[in-house]
Amino acid sequence: MENNLMQMEEEIVKALRTVYDPEIPVNIYDLGLVYDVDVNHKTGHVVVTMTLTSPNCPVVDFLITDAQMRVESVKGVKSAEIKLTFEPEWHRDMMTDEAKLELGLL
């Protein structure tokens, strides 16, 4: 059971890595926008807590809808909820090294 949960979480992360902010050529996971992925293995419900690079992000609806659809496409996921938070506030240090390299920050 534990192995299945880990595999599902890995697949969810892979799915989140296919969601891109149209204004930034890096996926939301590597940008550090995803704070938490909570999987209820019994119900198949997933809650993703994430933020935005800016509270005034013009593509917020697109990102949330895209993330939800991608997570719900993962085998074993019955439903997904995307929770938006601005605590803690996002900053560049949250990005992976790959994202920083892609954006010329390393």
CATH of domain 2-102: 3.30.300.130
Residue count of the chain: 106
> Cα-atom radius of gyration of the chain, to the nearest Å?
14
13 touches 29 (CB < 8 A) = yes
* All structural domains of the chain with their residue ranges: 2-102
Q: What confidence score (pLDDT) does residue 106 get?
A: 82
Which parts of the chain have pLDDT scores under 70?
A: 1
What element of type H or E holds 12? Answer: helix 2-16
22 touches 62 (CB < 8 A) = yes
Structure tokens at 46: 């997933």
Q: What confidence score (pLDDT) does residue 6 get?
A: 87
